[in-house]
């Protein structure tokens, strides 16, 4: 997820003695400004450590989820679980980029060319990509329940790849458009951390509203799917003995909850920059937001690995291979 985007005037209200156009830095240059930090050092360090821990946990669980799905051969061929793998891969790459481009530079005081620009593009891209992929997941299950043949036509063979590729293209286009049109930039503010600025917010606001609408549609589709499943439960249980569709149905409520959480963070993303917040409170809110906004990326692998029996068994076989288990046989005398 991207950090909260703030107008420079809104942040300047916190302390008009500081000029945010001048008081920003990167890497070792930040040390010159630490004397002006009014946030307690232990508080800042605790928040940064918490963010590193959460991002690291998210990275690990998404990696385990991808490995578990690929190892469960009967699930890895399903379009639904292929989409889950792609979604987790997006989370995985995003977590890695957050660690390398944003968190480690703060701890190790290093910088390189285009560091903040790359992190800005990746954050915004991953946010839009997550919303669209969750929508495609709900769309797939909706078609498979209401128009099975049509769903098979859309999501089989090469046609399946049109959806993730289209998602990547739309997300990339929206990201570039927002950054260029609204003239967004990311800067390091010594008392705040990394913050995003935009001279205008017209396109960003419009795309955020579209994203919220897509998220609500995803939640609505999941609600319809859930009702359809309850109505035709016996039919599905009798027609799907391979366990694939059952595993997909088990994940629907999890994906719906994740879509709801994602929508909540999108709403906060729009509301918080509009508030008139004091400097100390702004630091805490932005830091907590950047920590908590990783939760949607963590919920998918945690829910799936804990609640999906097939994936738990697949992961268990990887951790404890069958050939490593000592088999005991009775001795006949």
Query: Average pLDDT for residues 113-130, to the nearest whole number?
Result: 89
Extended beta strands in the chain, E state = 5-6, 184-189, 193-198
Considering the segment(s) 38-316 as one domain, its CATH architecture is Up-down Bundle (1.20)
Per-residue model confidence as pLDDT tens digits over 185-203:
887 766 566 777 777 778 8
Within 8 A by CB and 6+ apart from 314, the residues are 68, 69, 71, 72, 75
pLDDT band at residue 77 under the 50/70/90 scheme: confident
Q: What is the pTM (predicted TM-score) of this model?
A: 0.74
Within 8 A by CB and 6+ apart from 206, the residues are none
Tokens of 108: 């190790």
Per-residue model confidence as pLDDT tens digits over 134-186:
899 888 888 887 788 888 888 888 899 999 999 999 999 999 999 999 888 88
Q: Is the pLDDT of residue 222 over 60?
A: yes
Helix and strand numbers, DSSP H then E, in the chain: 14, 3
Query: Average pLDDT for residues 244-255, to the nearest whole number?
Result: 59
Residue 175 near residue 121, CB atoms below 8 Å: yes
Residue 299 to residue 38: CA distance in whole angstroms: 34
Q: Among all chains, which residue has been given the structure tokens 């399946």?
A: 160
Residue 45 to residue 32: CA distance in whole angstroms: 18
Per-residue model confidence as pLDDT tens digits over 202-221:
888 888 888 888 888 887 88
DSSP class per residue in 103-137: IHHHHH----TTHHHHHHHHHHHHHHHHHHHHHHH
Residue 191 near residue 47, CB atoms below 8 Å: no
Cβ neighbours, 10 Å, residue 322: 7
Q: Is the pLDDT of residue 227 over 50?
A: yes
The percent of residues above 70 in pLDDT, for the chain, comes to 57
Look at residue 191 in the predicted model and tell me its pLDDT: 57
From 237, 209, 271, select the one nearest 6 (Cα to Cα).
271
Look at residue 10 in the predicted model and tell me its pLDDT: 44
In the three-class reduction of DSSP (H, G, I as helix; E, B as strand; rest coil), residue 278 is classed as: coil
- Which has more pLDDT, 327 or 19? 327
Q: Is the pLDDT of residue 42 over 50?
A: no
From 319, 296, 315, 317, select the one nearest 306 (Cα to Cα).
315
Residue 83 to residue 136: CA distance in whole angstroms: 8
Residue 263 to residue 260: CA distance in whole angstroms: 5
Burial class for 10, CB neighbours closer than 10 Å (0-12, 13-18, 19+): middle
Instruction: Pick the range with the lowest mean pLDDT from 1-15, 59-73, 117-131.
Output: 1-15
Per-residue model confidence as pLDDT tens digits over 266-299:
676 667 666 665 555 665 666 666 666 667 677 7
Query: Average pLDDT for residues 65-82, to the nearest whole number?
Result: 81
Q: Is the pLDDT of residue 113 over 90?
A: no
From 240, 308, 258, select the one nearest 68 (Cα to Cα).
308
pLDDT band at residue 307 under the 50/70/90 scheme: low
Q: How far is CA 190 from CA 27, 39, 193, 195, 304, in A?
A: 11, 10, 6, 10, 39
């Amino acid at each position: 997820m991207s950090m909260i985007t703030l107008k420079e005037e809104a942040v300047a209200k916190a302390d008009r003695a500081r000029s945010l156009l001048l008081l920003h830095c990167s890497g070792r240059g930040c040390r010159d400004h630490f004397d002006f930090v009014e946030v307690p050092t232990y508080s800042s360090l605790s928040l940064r450590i918490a963010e590193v821990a959460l991002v690291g946990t998210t990275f690990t669980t998404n990696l385990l989820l991808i490995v578990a799905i690929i190892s469960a051969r009967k699930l890895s061929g399903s379009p639904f679980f292929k989409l889950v793998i792609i979604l987790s891969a997006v989370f995985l790459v995003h977590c890695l980029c957050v660690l390398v481009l944003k968190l480690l530079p703060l701890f190790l005081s290093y910088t390189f060319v285009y560091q903040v620009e790359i992190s800005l593009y990746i954050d915004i891209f991953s946010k839009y990509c997550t919303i669209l992929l969750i929508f495609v997941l709900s769309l797939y299950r909706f078609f498979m329940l209401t128009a099975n043949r049509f769903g098979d036509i859309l999501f089989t063979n090469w046609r399946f790849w049109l959806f993730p590729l289209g998602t990547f293209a739309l997300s990339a286009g929206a990201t570039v458009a927002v950054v260029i049109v609204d003239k967004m930039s990311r800067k390091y503010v010594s008392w705040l951390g990394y913050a995003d600025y935009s001279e205008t917010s017209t396109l960003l606001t419009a795309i955020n509203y579209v994203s919220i609408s897509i998220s609500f549609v995803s939640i609505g589709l999941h609600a319809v799917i859930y009702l359809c499943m309850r109505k035709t439960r016996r039919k599905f249980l009798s027609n799907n003995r391979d366990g694939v569709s059952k595993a997909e149905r088990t994940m629907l409520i999890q994906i719906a909850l994740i879509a709801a959480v994602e929508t909540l963070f999108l709403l906060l993303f729009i509301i918080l920059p509009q508030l008139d917040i004091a400097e100390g409170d702004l630091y805490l809110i932005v830091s907590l937001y950047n920590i908590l906004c990783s939760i949607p990326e963590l919920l998918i692998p945690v829910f799936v690995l804990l609640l999906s029996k097939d994936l738990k068994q697949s992961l268990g076989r990887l951790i404890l291979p069958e050939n490593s288990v000592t088999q005991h046989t009775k001795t006949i005398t």
